[in-house]
Amino acid sequence: MIDTHCHFDFSPFNQAPDQYWQAAREVGVTRMVVPSVNEQNWPAVLALTERFAEMYAGLGLHPCFLDTHTDNSLAALEDALVSRPLSCVAVGEAGLDYCVAHTPEMKQRQHALLDGQLWLARRYDLPIILHSRQSHNDLLRLVKAYPGVRGVLHAFSGSEQQGKQFIDAGLMLGVGGTVTYERANKTRQAIARLPLNHLLLETDAPDMTLAGYQGKPNTPAQVSRVVDVVAALKSCDRDHLVAETSGNAERMFGLH
Ligand SMILES: [Zn+2]
Protein backbone atom coordinates (compact mmCIF):
# COMPACT_ATOMS: atom_id res chain seq x y z
CA MET A 1 0.00 0.00 0.00
CA ILE A 2 1.28 3.47 -0.84
CA ASP A 3 0.10 6.57 0.99
CA THR A 4 0.55 9.07 -1.84
CA HIS A 5 -0.13 12.15 0.31
CA CYS A 6 1.02 12.40 3.92
CA HIS A 7 2.51 15.45 5.67
CA PHE A 8 4.87 13.29 7.68
CA ASP A 9 7.08 16.23 8.65
CA PHE A 10 4.16 17.75 10.61
CA SER A 11 3.19 17.21 14.25
CA PRO A 12 2.58 14.67 15.74
CA PHE A 13 4.71 12.56 13.37
CA ASN A 14 7.84 14.71 13.75
CA GLN A 15 7.88 13.90 17.47
CA ALA A 16 8.17 10.14 16.91
CA PRO A 17 8.65 9.38 13.20
CA ASP A 18 9.99 5.84 13.72
CA GLN A 19 7.01 4.90 15.82
CA TYR A 20 4.44 6.27 13.36
CA TRP A 21 6.20 4.72 10.37
CA GLN A 22 6.41 1.37 12.16
CA ALA A 23 2.66 1.49 12.87
CA ALA A 24 1.98 2.20 9.19
CA ARG A 25 4.24 -0.66 8.07
CA GLU A 26 2.45 -3.05 10.40
CA VAL A 27 -0.81 -2.59 8.49
CA GLY A 28 0.91 -2.97 5.12
CA VAL A 29 1.96 0.55 4.10
CA THR A 30 5.15 0.12 2.09
CA ARG A 31 5.89 3.58 0.73
CA MET A 32 4.80 7.16 1.13
CA VAL A 33 4.92 10.46 -0.76
CA VAL A 34 5.44 13.50 1.48
CA PRO A 35 4.48 16.80 -0.18
CA SER A 36 5.76 20.09 1.17
CA VAL A 37 3.96 23.37 1.75
CA ASN A 38 6.60 26.10 1.59
CA GLU A 39 10.30 26.80 1.19
CA GLN A 40 10.77 26.63 4.96
CA ASN A 41 9.78 22.96 5.16
CA TRP A 42 11.60 21.62 2.09
CA PRO A 43 14.67 20.67 4.19
CA ALA A 44 12.55 18.72 6.70
CA VAL A 45 10.75 16.81 3.93
CA LEU A 46 14.00 16.01 2.11
CA ALA A 47 15.59 14.92 5.41
CA LEU A 48 12.77 12.39 5.88
CA THR A 49 13.51 10.85 2.49
CA GLU A 50 17.13 10.45 3.53
CA ARG A 51 16.21 8.84 6.81
CA PHE A 52 13.52 6.52 5.37
CA ALA A 53 14.26 4.88 2.02
CA GLU A 54 10.51 4.22 1.54
CA MET A 55 9.61 7.93 1.54
CA TYR A 56 9.57 10.30 -1.43
CA ALA A 57 9.23 14.07 -1.51
CA GLY A 58 7.29 16.69 -3.39
CA LEU A 59 8.70 20.23 -3.39
CA GLY A 60 6.17 23.00 -3.75
CA LEU A 61 4.33 26.11 -2.62
CA HIS A 62 0.92 25.40 -1.05
CA PRO A 63 -1.90 27.91 -1.74
CA CYS A 64 -2.93 27.99 1.95
CA PHE A 65 0.54 29.20 2.96
CA LEU A 66 0.44 32.37 0.83
CA ASP A 67 1.86 34.64 3.52
CA THR A 68 5.02 32.51 3.73
CA HIS A 69 5.74 32.73 -0.01
CA THR A 70 7.67 35.66 -1.48
CA ASP A 71 8.36 37.02 -4.96
CA ASN A 72 11.47 34.87 -4.90
CA SER A 73 9.78 31.56 -3.98
CA LEU A 74 9.29 30.26 -7.53
CA ALA A 75 12.94 30.94 -8.36
CA ALA A 76 13.98 29.18 -5.15
CA LEU A 77 11.77 26.24 -6.13
CA GLU A 78 13.44 26.01 -9.50
CA ASP A 79 16.87 26.00 -7.83
CA ALA A 80 15.73 23.22 -5.48
CA LEU A 81 14.38 21.19 -8.41
CA VAL A 82 17.57 21.61 -10.42
CA SER A 83 19.60 20.13 -7.57
CA ARG A 84 16.95 17.65 -6.42
CA PRO A 85 17.87 14.20 -5.11
CA LEU A 86 16.31 11.09 -6.73
CA SER A 87 13.89 10.90 -3.80
CA CYS A 88 12.18 14.12 -4.98
CA VAL A 89 9.52 12.74 -7.31
CA ALA A 90 7.05 15.61 -7.72
CA VAL A 91 6.29 19.31 -7.68
CA GLY A 92 3.82 20.09 -4.92
CA GLU A 93 1.77 20.64 -3.04
CA ALA A 94 0.45 23.35 -5.35
CA GLY A 95 -3.04 24.50 -6.24
CA LEU A 96 -5.90 26.85 -5.43
CA ASP A 97 -7.96 27.25 -2.29
CA TYR A 98 -10.85 29.69 -2.43
CA CYS A 99 -11.85 28.89 1.16
CA VAL A 100 -8.78 30.86 2.26
CA ALA A 101 -8.40 33.30 -0.66
CA HIS A 102 -10.85 35.99 0.41
CA THR A 103 -9.76 38.78 -1.92
CA PRO A 104 -9.18 39.03 -5.68
CA GLU A 105 -5.55 39.87 -4.88
CA MET A 106 -5.10 36.60 -2.95
CA LYS A 107 -6.67 34.60 -5.78
CA GLN A 108 -4.36 36.36 -8.20
CA ARG A 109 -1.31 35.32 -6.16
CA GLN A 110 -2.54 31.72 -5.94
CA HIS A 111 -3.03 31.68 -9.72
CA ALA A 112 0.48 33.01 -10.35
CA LEU A 113 2.06 30.45 -8.01
CA LEU A 114 0.12 27.57 -9.55
CA ASP A 115 0.93 28.74 -13.05
CA GLY A 116 4.62 28.91 -12.19
CA GLN A 117 4.59 25.44 -10.63
CA LEU A 118 2.79 23.90 -13.63
CA TRP A 119 5.48 25.41 -15.81
CA LEU A 120 8.21 23.93 -13.59
CA ALA A 121 6.50 20.49 -13.52
CA ARG A 122 6.52 20.37 -17.29
CA ARG A 123 9.99 21.87 -17.61
CA TYR A 124 11.52 19.26 -15.25
CA ASP A 125 9.23 16.43 -16.37
CA LEU A 126 7.78 15.84 -12.89
CA PRO A 127 4.19 15.13 -11.86
CA ILE A 128 2.44 17.88 -9.88
CA ILE A 129 0.48 17.30 -6.66
CA LEU A 130 -2.59 19.56 -6.72
CA HIS A 131 -4.87 20.88 -4.00
CA SER A 132 -8.25 22.43 -4.85
CA ARG A 133 -11.07 23.72 -2.66
CA GLN A 134 -14.02 25.57 -4.18
CA SER A 135 -11.81 26.22 -7.18
CA HIS A 136 -12.24 23.22 -9.51
CA ASN A 137 -13.05 25.22 -12.68
CA ASP A 138 -10.17 27.66 -12.38
CA LEU A 139 -7.77 24.84 -11.52
CA LEU A 140 -8.84 22.89 -14.60
CA ARG A 141 -8.41 25.94 -16.81
CA LEU A 142 -4.86 26.52 -15.55
CA VAL A 143 -3.90 22.82 -15.88
CA LYS A 144 -5.24 22.70 -19.45
CA ALA A 145 -2.96 25.60 -20.36
CA TYR A 146 -0.08 23.11 -19.93
CA PRO A 147 -0.83 20.20 -22.24
CA GLY A 148 1.20 17.13 -21.40
CA VAL A 149 1.52 17.99 -17.73
CA ARG A 150 0.73 15.04 -15.45
CA GLY A 151 -0.17 14.88 -11.80
CA VAL A 152 -2.74 14.15 -9.15
CA LEU A 153 -5.66 16.13 -7.80
CA HIS A 154 -5.31 15.09 -4.18
CA ALA A 155 -8.23 14.62 -1.76
CA PHE A 156 -10.67 14.43 -4.63
CA SER A 157 -14.18 15.40 -3.66
CA GLY A 158 -16.76 15.96 -6.38
CA SER A 159 -19.05 14.39 -8.93
CA GLU A 160 -18.30 11.68 -11.48
CA GLN A 161 -18.46 14.34 -14.19
CA GLN A 162 -15.90 16.53 -12.41
CA GLY A 163 -13.67 13.51 -11.89
CA LYS A 164 -13.81 12.77 -15.61
CA GLN A 165 -12.85 16.34 -16.45
CA PHE A 166 -9.72 16.05 -14.30
CA ILE A 167 -8.85 12.67 -15.81
CA ASP A 168 -9.30 14.11 -19.31
CA ALA A 169 -6.89 16.90 -18.34
CA GLY A 170 -4.22 14.26 -17.62
CA LEU A 171 -4.64 13.96 -13.85
CA MET A 172 -5.08 11.09 -11.43
CA LEU A 173 -7.49 11.45 -8.52
CA GLY A 174 -6.23 11.03 -4.96
CA VAL A 175 -8.81 9.20 -2.85
CA GLY A 176 -8.72 9.64 0.91
CA GLY A 177 -10.81 10.20 4.01
CA THR A 178 -13.75 11.89 2.26
CA VAL A 179 -15.12 8.60 0.91
CA THR A 180 -15.31 7.13 4.42
CA TYR A 181 -18.20 9.50 5.25
CA GLU A 182 -21.59 8.15 4.23
CA ARG A 183 -22.90 11.68 3.74
CA ALA A 184 -20.30 12.19 0.97
CA ASN A 185 -22.68 10.51 -1.43
CA LYS A 186 -21.67 12.32 -4.59
CA THR A 187 -17.96 11.59 -4.11
CA ARG A 188 -18.62 7.96 -3.12
CA GLN A 189 -20.69 7.39 -6.25
CA ALA A 190 -18.03 9.07 -8.36
CA ILE A 191 -15.26 6.84 -6.98
CA ALA A 192 -17.43 3.75 -7.48
CA ARG A 193 -17.72 4.57 -11.19
CA LEU A 194 -14.45 6.26 -12.14
CA PRO A 195 -11.76 4.03 -13.69
CA LEU A 196 -9.38 2.33 -11.26
CA ASN A 197 -6.38 3.11 -13.45
CA HIS A 198 -6.76 6.80 -12.57
CA LEU A 199 -7.03 6.48 -8.78
CA LEU A 200 -4.38 6.85 -6.08
CA LEU A 201 -4.79 6.22 -2.35
CA GLU A 202 -3.87 8.75 0.33
CA THR A 203 -4.54 9.93 3.87
CA ASP A 204 -3.50 13.63 3.86
CA ALA A 205 -2.48 12.90 7.48
CA PRO A 206 -2.45 14.56 9.95
CA ASP A 207 -5.47 16.31 8.31
CA MET A 208 -8.64 14.71 6.92
CA THR A 209 -9.76 12.51 9.79
CA LEU A 210 -11.67 9.41 8.70
CA ALA A 211 -15.28 8.78 9.64
CA GLY A 212 -15.39 7.25 13.12
CA TYR A 213 -12.02 8.71 14.14
CA GLN A 214 -12.99 12.35 14.78
CA GLY A 215 -10.92 14.00 17.48
CA LYS A 216 -7.88 11.80 16.82
CA PRO A 217 -5.02 12.77 14.51
CA ASN A 218 -5.13 11.06 11.14
CA THR A 219 -2.11 8.80 10.49
CA PRO A 220 -0.63 7.07 7.42
CA ALA A 221 -1.72 3.68 8.84
CA GLN A 222 -5.29 4.78 8.09
CA VAL A 223 -4.73 4.33 4.36
CA SER A 224 -5.65 0.73 5.11
CA ARG A 225 -9.18 1.89 6.07
CA VAL A 226 -9.40 3.90 2.86
CA VAL A 227 -8.60 0.67 1.01
CA ASP A 228 -11.47 -1.12 2.80
CA VAL A 229 -13.97 1.58 1.84
CA VAL A 230 -12.85 1.96 -1.78
CA ALA A 231 -12.78 -1.83 -2.30
CA ALA A 232 -16.37 -2.01 -1.01
CA LEU A 233 -17.48 0.94 -3.19
CA LYS A 234 -15.95 -0.60 -6.30
CA SER A 235 -16.98 -4.16 -5.34
CA CYS A 236 -13.45 -5.33 -5.96
CA ASP A 237 -10.95 -7.43 -4.14
CA ARG A 238 -8.74 -5.59 -1.60
CA ASP A 239 -5.50 -7.03 -3.01
CA HIS A 240 -6.51 -6.14 -6.54
CA LEU A 241 -7.25 -2.54 -5.50
CA VAL A 242 -3.91 -2.24 -3.71
CA ALA A 243 -1.97 -3.72 -6.63
CA GLU A 244 -3.66 -1.49 -9.22
CA THR A 245 -3.40 1.78 -7.28
CA SER A 246 0.21 1.03 -6.28
CA GLY A 247 1.01 0.46 -9.95
CA ASN A 248 -0.60 3.82 -10.77
CA ALA A 249 1.52 5.57 -8.12
CA GLU A 250 4.71 3.81 -9.25
CA ARG A 251 4.13 4.85 -12.85
CA MET A 252 3.17 8.43 -12.15
CA PHE A 253 5.86 9.23 -9.57
CA GLY A 254 8.45 6.95 -11.19
CA LEU A 255 8.94 4.98 -7.95
CA HIS A 256 11.18 1.96 -8.17
ZN1 LIG B 1 -1.74 18.16 1.70
Q: How far is the CA of 105 from the centre of ligand 1 (A)?
A: 23
**Residue 254 CB neighbours (<10 A):** 14
Q: How far is the CA of 82 from the centre of ligand 1 (A)?
A: 23
Range 103-121 burial, b when 16+ CB lie within 10 A, else e? eeebbebbbebbebbbbbb
Q: How far is the CA of 206 from the centre of ligand 1 (A)?
A: 9
Q: What is the CATH number of the domain that holds 160?
A: 3.20.20.140
Q: How far is the CA of 64 from the centre of ligand 1 (A)?
A: 10
Across all residues in the chain, what is the average pLDDT?
Answer: 96
pLDDT at 216 (0 to 100): 83
Report the side by side order of strands in the sheet with 55-59.
2-3, 31-34, 55-59, 88-97, 128-133, 151-153, 171-175, 199-201
Residue 256 above 80 pLDDT? no
pLDDT at 214 (0 to 100): 84
> What average pLDDT score do residues 106-124 get?
98
Q: What is the pLDDT of residues 121-142, one digit of tens each?
A: 999 999 999 999 999 999 999 9
Q: How far is the CA of 160 from the centre of ligand 1 (A)?
A: 22
Q: How far is the CA of 104 from the centre of ligand 1 (A)?
A: 23
The span from the CA of 79 to the CA of 76, in Å, is 5
Q: How far is the CA of 92 from the centre of ligand 1 (A)?
A: 9
The span from the CA of 137 to the CA of 116, in Å, is 18
The span from the CA of 109 to the CA of 113, in Å, is 6
Total number of domains in the chain: 1
Q: Which domain holds residue 238?
A: 2-253
